[in-house]
Structure 1
């Protein structure tokens, strides 16, 4: 189970970690935390040293009810940082968290290696064309609606079956464009209630029928801190517990704010399953 990132084959049979860098002022956990280039480079370096295979840069907040920003503003936040990071760390494998094809294209021109799209191409019809043109891996997430409306779209006949149908349809649409490298993201916290999120995690292994690598993003999300009656800043312990369960149920990539702890999960999980 491999993906091709700028000519390098990444084997996902051994789970990998993707470190999150939010370049937004309003993300639910670390919004506004990284204000200048030095802080960003320090955090990227820490994540790489701690074991991250991928660094995920996002400049558009997708928390529930997030405000929209223009393509120009997203590019102004994102593109200089892509250049900055790759100048300092040319071997870094950058993932670009965007649903806009024009933003993805500019980042890929600057050396980004894969695209992480919360909408699987449904919010911008040009996205699949961009991915196909650049021959990069494509992370397709499950979501209904958009960040403003997604929590009004939590009615499912059968959650897992509906998600498998969604991924089948989106993968077929992408394949028709010539895209070959896919990763699927169940979209914890997107168009799902707290109970649905835990049902999904408990049954994550059923998504393996799609025969694609699975990325799981649970890090410090509301499904943890709301259940525990705390805040995102106090949700690392809960994140670690759920990451271990995700690994046990087939996750190939952990997308996290805290790389060191996620790598420890992987190491312990490997020992348990050796």
Structure 2
């Protein structure tokens, strides 16, 4: 199986652990990620606030490239997914006309939705060799994965379930909490650091009160924000995993490496050892 892959800028830098885990998980699932040739920044997350035209044209260049490949797109970053979908919607309504041919022929998949299709879940179940039993997590979706529904097409924006499903398939115990789509403040971190620290502190508090050992995310900006700002918020450390990191752990019995988490600020290795996830 082949699908075009739009990694986005974050996976080339701060989210390199995410990128590596995605490549490993999809390889084991026998799903070939065909990186869009000469892809460029989609403009997330500031362009739509500064230039409405560019907010459509920047993603459109990547849509045109994917259409030339003749493959649907999967995007791991919720912000990138959101901007690609917005561009496709605006072009379809002839709000803007890009200089490249874009006819809307490709479907854009948010990665957790792609992997929770039943035929993909069957592949995942067949690859679990090291179920993450004893690991308690809460799943955090953030603002951009599911909203706005008229762009994403999702109706479960108050209580999404895809991260929960994937973490559960990996063998973790998924705890319920009421903050899975509450803003973490990443977008205002430069202008109002005080609000950012307060929002992060509240999320860490609520995750710990729920009894979680860790938080599971798909958004690079959310992961970076929650991971880095815990100390500033004065909270005891809590690991923040990308969902593909949990799948990778569940797939790889006895062959894990600390290098998998080298970009994490809160090192999860000691916690995973205590939970006997590493066997």
Q: Provide the TM-score with structure 1 as the length reference.
A: 0.35
Q: Provide the TM-score with structure 2 as the length reference.
A: 0.34
Which has the greater radius of gyration? 2
